[in-house]
Copies of this chain bind each other. A is one copy, B any other.
Amino acid sequence: MLVVMKPHASQAEIEAVSERIRSLGLAPHAIPGAQRVAIGITGNKGPLEPAMFAAMPGVADAIRVSQPFKLVSREVKEEDTVIDVGGARIGGTAIAVMAGPCSVESREQILEVARAVKQHGATFLRGGAFKPRTSPYEFQGLGEEGLKLLALAREATGLKVVTEVMDADDLQVCTEYADVLQVGARNMQNFTLLRKLGAVRKPVLLKRGPSATIKELLMAAEYVLSSGNYQVALCERGIRTFETMTRNTLDLNAVPVLKALSHLPVVVDPSHGIGLRAHVPAMARAGIAAGADGIIVEVHPCPEKALSDGHQSLAIPEFADLMRQVRIIAGAIGRPVQGLA
């Protein structure tokens, strides 16, 4: 159930509706919109009766929500969510480009990449400090030292920092240094972490698990929103199929489906998605053409020497070329690229 308030409903009217909801043993979630406030209701077992709310002062409408996901649903909020990260945006007309190395490796590496991706039109710098690795014997990231280097690169370039938070343990330190907190694919259903991210005042980039359904991705986002953080972007980064020529199978079908079902912005990760450096540009173009609001791309000054994911990272000239292609495709469908005036 969603109670939509009139455009000029007073704070007292909004509170009265919330109180009525609480009195039924349910939870109200006020969702501020550009024009008016809506109040999502969760906790009910069966359908609620719209008449309970429709006649209250300041209420425009009371709508039943048919999907198991509520707050992330377009039924509940029709207009697109735009996440504003100090001027850089995820969502809205302009395409957001996030780029950087898989792992932060050194001061020189991160500064070189940051300056280059900024120059070619990225507005976000990605880089891992805490790395989830299949093997305990592989490079696990620089930890807090990596976060400091990301912050340094932000100072040097103005790029906003996106980094993965692997666990509740890292949450505080990641929140301190980063602008956007990434939830990795393997953690998409780490419900404890999702709930804690609901209490954080930083946007979340939530990656789809390699075998998660679209519905499960939306339910994972629902954990964050229902815990109080509405700044969530969804990221398609490849699912696991029987194919062995590609690392994963970037599922671009998810892009229009997610955009239709949810108001949250959708980002595509062609680097992990196909996992083959030569084909990252094709998948980035296709992602934009399918309707994605942004891309996140791995770039390394010297992919052959990367401590992780070198086979799917672009060298800097390759990234420059990718951006030319992205600009053309985005332009064709009437979308500018944020960092390219």
Contact surface of A with B, Cβ cutoff 8 Å: 42-43, 68-70, 132-137, 166-170, 186-187, 189-193, 195, 209-211, 213-216, 219, 222-223, 226-227, 239-246, 249-253, 255-257, 260, 273-274, 276, 278-279, 282-283, 285-291, 325, 328-329, 331-333
- A212 to chain B minimum Cβ distance, whole angstroms, is 9
Q: Once the chains bind, are B257 and A216 in contact (CB under 8 Å)? A: no
- In the A-B complex, the 6 residue pairs with the smallest Cβ-Cβ separation, listed nearest first, are A211-B211, A332-B332, A289-B289, A167-B192, A256-B282, A286-B290
- A325 to chain B minimum Cβ distance, whole angstroms, is 8
Which of B215, B245, B285, B331 sits near A257, CB closer than 8 Å? Answer: B245
In Å, the complex CA distance between A146 and B54 comes to: 40
Chain B residues, Cβ within 8 Å of A132: 189, 191
Which of B242, B257, B273 sits near A242, CB closer than 8 Å? Answer: B242
In Å, the complex CA distance between A332 and B134 comes to: 39
In Å, the complex CA distance between A288 and B286 comes to: 8
Q: A252-B286, A286-B289, A289-B285 are in contact. Are A166 and B191 (CB under 8 A)?
A: yes
Q: A132-B191, A286-B286 are in contact. Are A246 and B253 (CB under 8 A)?
A: yes
Chain B residues, Cβ within 8 Å of A211: 209-211, 240, 242
